[in-house]
Chains A and B, each alone.
Chain A
Amino acid sequence: AQTVTQSQPEMSVQEAETVTLSCTYDTSESDYYLFWYKQPPSRQMILVIRQEAYKQQNATENRFSVNFQKAAKSFSLKISDSQLGDAAMYFCAYRRQTGANNLFFGTGTRLTVIP
């Protein structure tokens, strides 16, 4: 079974600084997708960034980038130039490439941005 682990329940960062959120996962499959979702107080899950396992290049979306280490089954999220609006719960998620398409989520990391 796929499991996703986020070992940092809470993190904080100074505004304009950089922070890295950790995520590890366990799977026996070779092809899959990994995601980072953000959940602000509005409760809506918002997709931050997505990585296909077959791509060696790390995904980047503006101030958000990932460090994908397939052999180590690690998928960390780096937020550069942190902004107050980045404060939220961040969830790492895994999805198979074939077969069942549901997302497996980690337990989340609460990010606080300090002005």
Chain B
Amino acid sequence: KAGVTQTPRYLIKTRGQQVTLSCSPISGHRSVSWYQQTPGQGLQFLFEYFSETQRNKGNFPGRFSGRQFSNSRSEMNVSTLELGDSALYLCASSFSVGADGYTFGSGTRLTVV
């Protein structure tokens, strides 16, 4: 079966712009989590969604937001982009919240110039 699909794979944006990243989980998976990966801060949790509800949120400013649709697909949005938002954004899906089987996508590489 298809894995976790993240689009786009690469993205270049200018400071001050906003961006939307997409994640399609494995079929049947209802939980989607987002992580930011940077050389300086490593892997940090952004948020988790289950059945269209945000269940958990990491320590990120309000410029970072997300949502989940009825088909479990998720989007995350970053507004007023800063240079420090340049990162690899990884999405992971699982059957339910707390399930062990996290499957990650290949990420979206965002570069802010």
Contact A105 B43 (CB under 8 A): yes
Contact B42 A108 (CB under 8 A): yes
Contact A102 B45 (CB under 8 A): yes
- A61 CB, min distance to chain B CBs, angstroms: 14
Report, as a range, how many residues of chain A touch the other chain. Answer: 20 to 34
Complex formed: what's the CA distance from A73 to B56 in Å? 26
Quick check: is A107 within 8 A (CB to CB) of the other chain? Answer: yes
Contact B107 A105 (CB under 8 A): no
- Residue in chain B with minimal CB distance to A96: B98
Contact A42 B106 (CB under 8 A): yes
Quick check: is B64 within 8 A (CB to CB) of the other chain? Answer: no
- A69 CB, min distance to chain B CBs, angstroms: 21
Contact B100 A33 (CB under 8 A): yes
- B36 CB, min distance to chain A CBs, angstroms: 11
Total A-B pairs, Cβ < 8 A: 46
Given the contacts A101-B48, A101-B56, A105-B42, A50 and B107 also touching, CB distance less than 8 Å: no
Select the residue from B43, B103, B107 with max chain A CB neighbours within 10 A: B43
Quick check: is A114 within 8 A (CB to CB) of the other chain? Answer: no
Contact A102 B58 (CB under 8 A): yes
Quick check: is A75 within 8 A (CB to CB) of the other chain? Answer: no
Quick check: is B102 within 8 A (CB to CB) of the other chain? Answer: yes
Quick check: is A25 within 8 A (CB to CB) of the other chain? Answer: no
Scan B32-44; emit 1 where CB is below 8 A from any A CB, else 0.
Answer: 0101000000110
Quick check: is B23 within 8 A (CB to CB) of the other chain? Answer: no
Quick check: is B66 within 8 A (CB to CB) of the other chain? Answer: no
Complex formed: what's the CA distance from A92 to B104 in Å? 15
Q: Which residues of A line the B interface, CB within 8 A?
A: 33, 37, 42-47, 50, 91, 98, 100-108
Of all A-B residue pairs in the complex, the 8 with the closest CB atoms, nearest first, are: A45-B104, A105-B43, A102-B45, A44-B106, A101-B98, A43-B107, A43-B106, A100-B56
